[in-house]
């Protein structure tokens, strides 16, 4: 990305279009480059001359401009900016975006772009709440389009409610923070989380003490940076990350199958506390205390999911991260696990008695690679998730 953030500003045809003049002024004062595209309807509310004067650039309006389209200008416009912002995003524009329509320059640019897109919706409250609009919004969010607003408030039509376009300063803030939100745009990342349950009989299981909190926070942090997350989770006790592709499993075998099915991915974070052993034979009926003697439970090893994925060839993620919950010799044991499994990084935690780490809200992680170790201070699992997501983004961008 260049040192100056280049914004392609598509101005839609709504009464809120007049706010774009102030938005452009603020963007330019912040040092951003603004290339404007206007729909025909937008010209009914603001003039191309005003927009061009503030942007310092020609306004593109028509797709059938012989001077511009001779060099496929709609393709160049879609590729030469760092970010596409649609302000205001009318119900019509959202519908075109969601359904792949391209009947004017603005919608054609939006269909042709490979850059992140931010929209600031503005419309009547009933239009915003209409099932068709909400379906389009859901589709666009699924496709990775980012939203700022709409806000609740009075509108030009005299009604009050959700549909009012966000103020220019809020849109400016969203645009300026957008590079961080797009560090992982276009990346697909697998996260495993929670415990696994290995049945002994129909009512009893062997399990690890894991709430799934750390895996969930990692998934949310990756999503906040634009990644598409496949979230394979055992029976966790925390809320699942919104908008992730959720695959719920119980056993280690099921988790391995779901993990393989998720490939290929750019990176894989194995935060799940997978049970190392399972019952050699699962009883078909409940083991009763009234039996003559306590049952002799025979165990066998579960599949080593981290090792299996780390040692793949064609479909191995370019970055594989494991977790090590240790009660002693934390660094030495985690480094041994790193080498044994063949992963790229290991996140080690001291979960000895009294640490409050396993199942708690905090951890005190050490990130270990073959090049050394990075000891981090005790922090919340959400804080660590953000730190780890930034490291993942930097590693993938460097590859």
Active-site annotation, residues: 157
Alpha-carbon span 195 to 199, nearest angstrom? 13
Tokens read off for 42: 């937008």
Contact between residue 346 and residue 368 where contact means Cβ atoms under 8 Å apart: yes
If you compute the radius of gyration of the chain from its CA atoms, what whole number of angstroms results? Answer: 26
Strands, sheet with 245-248, edge to edge from the N-terminal-most edge strand: 245-248, 228-233, 188-193, 267-270, 319-326, 345-350, 366-369, 372-375
β-pairing verdict for 267-270 and 319-326: parallel
370 C-beta neighbours (distance < 10 Å), count: 9
Tokens read off for 367: 């990130």
Alpha-carbon span 345 to 366, nearest angstrom? 10
For the purposes of burial, counting CB atoms within 10 Å of the CB of 334, is it exposed (0-12), middle (13-18) or buried (19 or more)?
buried
Buried b / exposed e over 198-231, threshold 16 CB at 10 Å, is: bebeeebbbbbebbbbbbbbbbbbbbbbbbbbbb
Nearest residue to 177 (alpha-carbon basis) of 131, 219, 116? 116
């Amino acid at each position: 990305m260049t040192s100056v953030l280049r914004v392609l500003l598509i101005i839609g045809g709504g009464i809120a279009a007049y706010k774009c003049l102030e938005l452009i002024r603020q963007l330019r004062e912040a040092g951003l480059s603004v290339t404007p595209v206007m729909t025909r309807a937008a010209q009914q509310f603001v003039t191309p001359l005003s927009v061009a004067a503030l942007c310092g650039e020609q306004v593109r309006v028509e797709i059938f401009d012989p001077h511009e389209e001779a060099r496929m200008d709609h393709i160049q416009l879609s590729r030469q900016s760092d970010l596409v912002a649609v302000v205001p995003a009318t119900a019509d524009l959202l519908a075109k975006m969601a359904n792949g329509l391209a009947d004017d320059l603005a919608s054609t640019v939006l269909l042709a772009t490979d850059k992140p897109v931010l929209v600031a919706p503005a419309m009547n409250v009933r239009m915003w709440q209409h099932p068709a609009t909400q379906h389009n919004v859901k589709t666009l969010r699924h496709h990775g389009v980012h939203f700022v607003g709409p806000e609740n408030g009075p509108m030009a039509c005299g009604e009050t409610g959700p549909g009012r376009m966000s103020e220019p300063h809020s849109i400016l803030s969203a645009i300026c923070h957008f590079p961080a939100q797009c560090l992982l745009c276009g990346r697909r990342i697998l996260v495993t989380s929670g415990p696994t349950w290995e049945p002994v009989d129909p009512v009893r299981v062997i399990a690890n003490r894991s709430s799934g909190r750390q895996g969930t926070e990692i998934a949310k942090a990756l999503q906040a940076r634009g990644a598409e997350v496949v979230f394979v989770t055992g029976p966790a006790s925390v809320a699942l990350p919104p908008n992730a592709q959720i695959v719920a499993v119980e056993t280690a075998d099921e988790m391995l199958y779901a993990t393989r099915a998720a490939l290929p991915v750019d990176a894989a974070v194995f935060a799940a506390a997978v049970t190392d052993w399972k019952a050699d034979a699962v009883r078909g009926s409940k083991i009763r205390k009234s039996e003559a003697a306590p049952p002799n439970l025979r165990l066998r090893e579960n599949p080593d999911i981290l090792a299996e994925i780390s040692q793949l060839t064609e479909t191995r993620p370019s970055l594989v991260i494991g977790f090590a919950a240790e009660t002693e010799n934390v660094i030495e044991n985690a480094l041994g696990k790193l080498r044994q499994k063949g992963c790229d990084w290991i996140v080690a935690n001291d979960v000895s008695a009294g640490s409050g780490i396993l199942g708690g809200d905090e951890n005190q992680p050490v990130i270990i690679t073959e090049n050394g170790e990075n000891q981090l201070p005790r922090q919340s699992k959400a804080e660590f998730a953000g730190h780890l997501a930034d490291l993942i983004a930097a590693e993938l961008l460097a590859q």
